[in-house]
Structure 1
Amino acid sequence: MRVGLFDFALPDELIAQRPACPRDSARLLDVAAAGFGDHVVRDLPKLLRPGDLMVFNDTRVIPARLKGVRAGGQSRRDVAVEALLVRKLGGGRWLCFGRPVKRLKVGDRISFAGGLQAMVEMINADGSIALAFERSGSDFLAALEGAGAVPLPPYIRGGIADARDRTDYQTLFAKVDGSVAAPTAGLHFTPELMTALAQAGIATANVTLHVGPGTFQPVRVEDTGQHAMHAEWGEVPPPTVKAIERTRQAGGRVVSIGTTALRLLESVARDNDGAVTAWSGETDIFITPGFRFRAVDLLITNFHLPRSTLFMLVSAFAGLDRMKAAYAHAIARRYRFYSYGDCCLLRR
């Protein structure tokens, strides 16, 4: 499909720079068959049904933005280096976006803040690099907490994070370290809202998908068939499989909280004849109109960038014409967009 089909104009002032406070006061657009309903997130207990199952992504954002120095030695100058961790490769090895890539060579050693040291192991054709850190596992993550910064997307204050973002850019459910971008639909939930949802008979379950920065970037080719998705690691645990089975048997609906949980559930269902089974591994699923959804009935998601894989996904889920109309409605009524913005409720 032509990528231009997924373009739209958005006023810069509608790009949210901070989350709503309290979080469940964010606005929610109900995109229903009969039209559009303007609500707030804390209205969810009356918008969903008893017996529905909400599936959250419990990944935790790590402070993945690093600044360091490549020591030049006798024949080369020192070079300031920035690295954004993208995906764990095993042990202390990470795939990264680094700059300036042209000033780096395989074998270079980089010193980051907090005593983190890494060697450039590989430089890929797409500009990404593989860094081998001298620390790994919990030791690496502990050092990263002091050395790294929150990896905000560039449309939020130029990507410059402050102390507030350490908590603002983390969901209530975050417990498994590994994401370099937040599963933003989960940012809207509070303990009070979770209590109200439970009292309304709405169940919850978790999956894990470590979100990479490629998920949120605009597509830079002209045809969707030319776009390559970055792989992301995920896991569907057995208790979540059982919760989905119970929900289906009782006639309830599976409600994905965010596109990340949806991509993981639909990846598993696609490879298992529609069934969601316990699973762990990497997925690079790219969902565009024409995709057959088999695992998720409803989707709660933020408003996404034009020409992005996420706007393509929601257009596949709810229909391109309907999503363009929904976004036009949201813009006209001054909804807040992107990671810290408002959200919508979509039906398959």
Structure 2
Amino acid sequence: MSYRPPPGTVPEPQLNDPCAERELVADRLPDLDTELDVFLSGRVFMDMIFTGLPGLPPPGTELVTDGLGSAPGGIANIAVAMSRLGLHVGLAAAFGDDMFGSYLWRTLAEQEGVDLRWARRMPGWPTPVTVSLGYAADRSMVTYSRPPATPPEELVTAPPRAAVCFVDLAHPVPDWAARMRAAGSLVFADLGWDHTETWCASVLDRLEHVDVFLPNAVEAMAYTRTDSPERALDALAERLPVVAVKLGAAGAIALDSATGERAAAPALPVQALDPTGAGDVFAAGFVFGTLAGWPLDRRLRFANLCAGLSVRHYSGSLGAPCWGEIAAFGEGGEVPVEVLAEYDFVVPYIPETELERGADSVARAQPTLRETLT
């Protein structure tokens, strides 16, 4: 986005301050008397990502690939994505005391700026690991995981003051989230794939404790027993104030039942390399847009922008865009000018230094990906 914000709208940055970008972004959000912008809990995984495979290895054989990456996964996807947008994110999670656990803790706390005051190292507990095998336009995954002695939701005895808390509806909404909502926090929720494929409708009863729900189309239709994303959206909107349904390459749709506002936004026209974590990055963008007070259509567009930029990279969490990458979006001419103009509203939220320095402006952790260039 090669534009300039109006003069005087961007305060002078402290160039030697690693938190300067977050402070600049926070200046553009409403003055919220909270300790955090977002608080969440969940399971952090060590993601190992193999790419460039011709297919899955048949029994008794070995495949050699030229692409391997590692990155924080699970709840770390959305924590990193929100932190890279300049939000102050607090995470309650269990970390193993093994090599993987040390890497995850260091990457999140030191390199990505996630606040881990509510997290805990678990002696003797092995870090959960997911291996992703990418081939053609698909992928298969293998996960190793043992339950920690203390579930993530039980790590929170005294929840912080936060503008938003984020929960996973695969489990009952934790007591701390209900307490935060009663104190004024907005509760955002998502859920993962139901491996039993029973899609128990009672899960939707948990939406009574939620303000914003962000399912994908398959999940939304399965839980509501509807035959289209639009019908699923209407059914879900009867249960809570705001619903946004992710449609993948078709973009997203949303409905605010309190105001009657409907919105639809296309996906970013980019070539996807790895969709891992794109839904989490979408959620991060939607949270930021909500805190910024944007109307529904702009929240969708920004969420799609963030998700679209993320799928151009391998790995979920570490592929999430920072403001420098958002500022550089469109400079290569990969997007028509008329499409780029639809994102003009984002420009005043981009720190001036990021407009000048572009995608490589912020030091951040990278996936440990190695590929042979051809």
Same fold (TM over 0.5): no
TM-score by length of 2: 0.30
TM-score by length of 1: 0.32
Higher relative contact order (CA 8 A, sep 6+): 1
